[in-house]
Amino acid sequence: MKKYILLTLIAIALISVSCTDYTDPKIISGTIWRCSKFTDSEMAQTYEYVEVHFISETQLQMWEKKKNDYPYQSSGSLSYTISDKTLTIKVPTSQQDVTATIENSELIMSFTNYTLTFTKL
């Protein structure tokens, strides 16, 4: 009987972790997402990984770790909004916002020539 109770508790824990709604700014705040596999060959040669740190319900930071012993660097704070499964990042130095799609524990940013897929750490 104890074995069944333990298995039930484990199943509930796994289901609750896999169904977290990261499209809610309150839930995504405080999380870190990492991309370490790059579809663009130049990025693959340059970066060890790129991270998105959600530092609040409206602000995030992009962090990068380049190869060749460059330090771990931040982009500074950027504002973001979430609508349904779409994350929109406001980039002050650009005419165009960056958009991404949130699917469970993946954050997918598509650019013209490549896609970055971030996984929640």
pLDDT at 111 over 60: yes
Q: What are the domain boundaries of the chain?
A: 21-120
Token pair 């909004």 is found at 81
Distance, CA of 69 to CA of 75 (rounded, Å):
18
51-103 pLDDT tens trace: 999 999 999 999 999 988 777 888 789 999 999 999 999 988 878 889 999 99
| CA–CA distances in Å: residue 17 to residues 12, 14, 21, 22, 104 | 9, 5, 9, 11, 10
Amino acid at 101: T
21-120 in CATH: which number?
2.40.128.280
